[in-house]
Chain A
Amino acid sequence: GIQVEQSPPDLILQEGANSTLRCNFSDSVNNLQWFHQNPWGQLINLFYIPSGTKQNGRLSATTVATERYSLLYISSSQTTDSGVYFCAVEQGRGSTLGRLYFGRGTQLTVWP
Chain B
Amino acid sequence: EAQVTQNPRYLITVTGKKLTVTCSQNMNHEYMSWYRQDPGLGLRQIYYSMNVEVTDKGDVPEGYKVSRKEKRNFPLILESPSPNQTSLYFCASSPAGALSGANVLTFGAGSRLTVL
Contact = CB atoms under 8 A, between A and B. Distances in A.
Contacts, number: 72
A92 B97 contact: yes
B105 interface: yes
Interface stretch (B44-52, B62-70, B73-81): B44-52
Contacts of B33: 98, 100
Contact of A101 (B45, B88, B100): B45
Contacts of A97: 50, 97-98, 100
B11 interface: no
**Dominant SS at the A interface?**
strand
Given A43-B90, A99-B56, A33 B99 contact: yes
A41 interface: yes
Contact of A100 (B50, B99, B104): B99
Contacts of A6: 42
Residue of A6, A43, A92, A98 contacting most chain B CB atoms (<10 Å): A98
Nearest to B88: A41
Contact of B45 (A41, A42, A100): A100
A1 B45 CA distance: 12
Given A42-B109, A98-B31, A31 B43 contact: no
13 contacts: A32-B99, A43-B90, A45-B105, A88-B99, A90-B99, A90-B100, A97-B98, A98-B56, A99-B45, A99-B48, A99-B56, A101-B59, A103-B42
Interface of B: 31, 33, 35, 40-45, 48-50, 56, 58-59, 88, 90, 92, 97-100, 102, 104-105, 107, 109-110
* A-B pairs with lowest CB-CB distance, top 9: A31-B99, A104-B42, A43-B107, A48-B102, A102-B43, A100-B98, A102-B42, A90-B98, A90-B99
